Amino acid sequence: TDIRFQSRPSCRTPDNKNGRCINIKQCPELLSLLRSNRQQPGVAQFLRGSACGYDGFDPKVCCTDTTSRLEEGGGGTTPPPVPLPFFKGGTLPQYPQCGFSNVTSQRIVGGYPSRLGAFPWLAALGYTRPATSTKKGPKFLCGAALVTTRHVITAGHCVYSREDLYMVRLGEHNLESDEDGASPIDVPIAKKKIHEEYSPTTFSNDIAMLWLKESVQTTLMIRPICLPTAPELRSMTFVRNYPFIAGWGAINFNGPSSTALLQLQVPVVEQDSCKNAYENFHTTIIDDRVLCAGFAKGGKDACQGDSGGPLMWPKDGKEYYLIGIVSYGYRCAEPGYPGVYTRITAFIDWITNNLD
């Protein structure tokens, strides 16, 4: 076998053979599967099960080491790939088992469609339709973020008095297309917990945790986002950073929702200017439990994201951390009114104490 192949970490293929974790372009048999039969149910599952990391934009797969390798392209040494261990559902993963996206971020302003797999922790929350509805399947009304293989974080208002919330969709790209290259999974919710001090009138402590009925397997398209647990991250205000929001805009201000995933970068603004913006709204509380982000001119906002969806900060441009949850705003990208997000660093202890 090629020496360069031998130096790659070993892994087990989905059919339990010995393999090596290499760029899919160097694995002819999986590459041809991907190109020819990707739509066949078993094939997509096998390819997902073979995933073991990324090499730049290319997925790495567990390739059986009996077959001949294609010659590696020259140039640059790449660090050895990181196989994805299956961590226990109740433990917080560390980068790159979390927060790893195969799509490098460029600065984006003015929501535009997201690339497949850009935010593999993004979830859509499914609610039952009324019996009279002519449409089949769930209504997707909120976003959420996968934080372990078993736990999802969303806004409290997405869960409060919503007996009809029953499932989480992961790995989705376009909610209404089966031809989008995504292979989403729908996982039933086993348990829900809203923050004990959540207030439906002021939206304070607007955070909730959902337990999935079973742990999900991490793949290139489904993996948790990291939580900012390190002390230096917990103390950050994130002001003047440009984190991402992404979602299907399921709750637009009286507008149609987008079925394709949209993404956008918004600047985190000073707490004082946010307080001033909302001072005439007597029910709102702008304090250190929230984070405000948006453009002073308006026009671009979390209406392009989802209520309950994640505000994501790319540390060093590549490690994504959950720093906020879309909570509320005035109308939709109204000039002078930044979006208000639940500040995750204020709830790290609540989250970690509830992981079980």
- Domain spans of the chain, in order of start: 3-64, 89-356
pLDDT at 252 over 50: no
Mean pLDDT score, 315-322: 91
User: How high is the pLDDT of residue 24?
Assistant: 84
Instruction: Report pTM.
Output: 0.72
The count of other CB atoms within 10 Å of the CB of residue 135 is 8
In tens, the pLDDT along 122-148 reads 999 999 998 898 888 898 889 999 999
Residues that are catalytic: 157, 206, 307
Phi first, then psi, for residue 279 (nearest 5°) are -65, -25
89-356 topology per CATH: Thrombin, subunit H (2.40.10)
Question: What share of the chain in percent tops pLDDT 90?
Answer: 42
Q: What is the pLDDT of residue 82?
A: 36
Q: How far apart are CA 327 and CA 341, in angstroms?
A: 5
**111 close to 264: Cβ distance less than 8 angstroms:** yes
What residues have CB less than 8 Å from 289, skipping those under 6 apart? 204, 205, 342, 343, 346, 347
Q: Where are the alpha helices (DSSP H) in the chain?
A: 3-6, 28-36, 41-50, 231-234, 271-277, 348-354
Residue with tokens 């009925």: 213
The mean-pLDDT minimum among 245-254, 268-277, 336-345 falls in 245-254
Q: Pull the structure tokens for residue 203.
A: 């939206």
Which of 25-34, 175-184, 268-277 is predicted with the least confidence, judged by mean pLDDT? 175-184
The class (CATH top level) of 3-64 is: alpha beta
Phi first, then psi: give them for residue 234, nearest 5 degrees.
Answer: -65, -25
- 160 or 81: which carries more pLDDT confidence? 160
